[in-house]
A and B are shown apart, each in its own frame.
Chain A
Amino acid sequence: MLKRGSQYTKSLLVLASQPLSLATWNSFTNFSYSVPPLDGMGWFIEIDAFGGSYNDKRTAIPSLPDLDAAFNGRDSVLLLQLSVPLCSRFRTNECKADMLFPVPVQRTQGLPFLVACSAGYRTGWVHSRGVLQQRGKRSLRTHATLSKSCIPTCLCIIVLKALQPATHGERST
């Protein structure tokens, strides 16, 4: 049972006509390899082959023009889905939905990445004793504070920065 927690997901479509360059992929992986520890939270990116052509013939998804169906991303070649499960793993019985990475958690690592993003946090959540809790229930003195509204924004900005060299070729969903 997931008692408390949330998940942020962002999807990007890469147009077949404007694929990501090798420089962009390098920027993206350099970013991925430099994400600091998130204090018990993992992140993942799913990259789906999407459309394209085969034997010089368009496959089913892009075979229809964009304006002939409700979904206008048919001319894409990749679908990138970026996700951060915002749930502690310490109380595993409460967080089974987010048990994605069977790696021991180091509580002392803190949340530098998220703290760096949370300069403008408003009413947020505190990551305390391994459980996301509403502010005011525990001391904030030694714990990182993160904001529900900040994390998605910051992650999105960072990922988009990583992808920036080919931003014109992406479509956000």
Chain B
Amino acid sequence: MTRFSFDFTPPSDPSQLAAFLAKFQDFAATQAPPELGIRIVVGGFAGAIALYQAHGVFYGPRDAFEKAYAPLAAVAPTPLSSSTVVELSYIDGVRALDGSGELNSTLVPLAVRTGS
């Protein structure tokens, strides 16, 4: 599994972001392979767009991810401000997706098992 996270500098022109989102929609409709789970996040704070990122997982190796993601990368309106692409085992990928780093495989609710 390949875990990826890209942060972009928010474009100053709303129409640039609109054009990218329209292309993302086209990408999702016909170009995104079934192995790809991808989310675009746009966020605002203090009256400005403060967050613009793409992240998700690809159920396959890194080189296959890069090939699958290439059509979308080609239409990003602004350069990356940071990026993370890592290959993980399936279990480590699930842990990374969860965000907490913990994975409960005991069939007992984690809160009960840890007493928290």
Binding site for B on A (CB under 8 A): 14, 16, 19-22, 25-26, 28-30, 32-33, 35-38, 41-54, 59-60, 77-78, 100-101, 103, 105-106, 109
The yes or no answer to B34 lying at the interface (CB within 8 A) is yes
Pair B47/A28 contact, Cβ less than 8 Å: no
Contact B38 A29 (CB under 8 A): no
User: Are B18's CB and A26's CB within 8 A?
Assistant: yes
B34 CB contact (under 8 Å) in A59, A78, A103, A106: A59
Q: What is the CA–CA distance of A51 and B31 in the complex, to the nearest angstrom?
A: 11
Query: When A45-B41, A49-B32 are in contact, do A26 and B25 touch as well, CB less than 8 Å?
Result: no
- Say whether A29 contacts B41, CB under 8 Å: no
Band of interface residues on B: 20 to 34
Instruction: Give bound CA distance, A29 to B10, whole Å.
Output: 11
CA distance A19 to B22 in the complex (A): 9
Can you list, as one digit per residue, whether each of B2-41 has a CB less than 8 Å from chain A (1) or not (0)? 0000000000001101110110111111111110111111
Asked if residues A35 and B47 are in contact (CB atoms below 8 Å), the reply is yes
Report the nearest B residue to A25, measured CB to CB: B18
Cβ A49 vs Cβ B44 within 8 A: no
Q: Are B18 and A78 in contact (CB under 8 A)?
A: no
Taken together as a complex, chains A and B put the C-alpha atoms of A48 and B57 apart, in Å, by: 12
CA distance A128 to B43 in the complex (A): 24
Residue B49 at the A interface, CB < 8 A? yes
- Give CA–CA (A106, B44) in the complex, Å: 14
- Please indicate the chain B residues that have their CB under 8 angstroms from the CB of A54 in the complex: 30-34
Q: Does B46 contact A (CB under 8 A)?
A: yes
Q: Is the CB of A53 within 8 A of B46?
A: no
Q: Which residues of B contact A30 (CB under 8 A)?
A: 14, 18
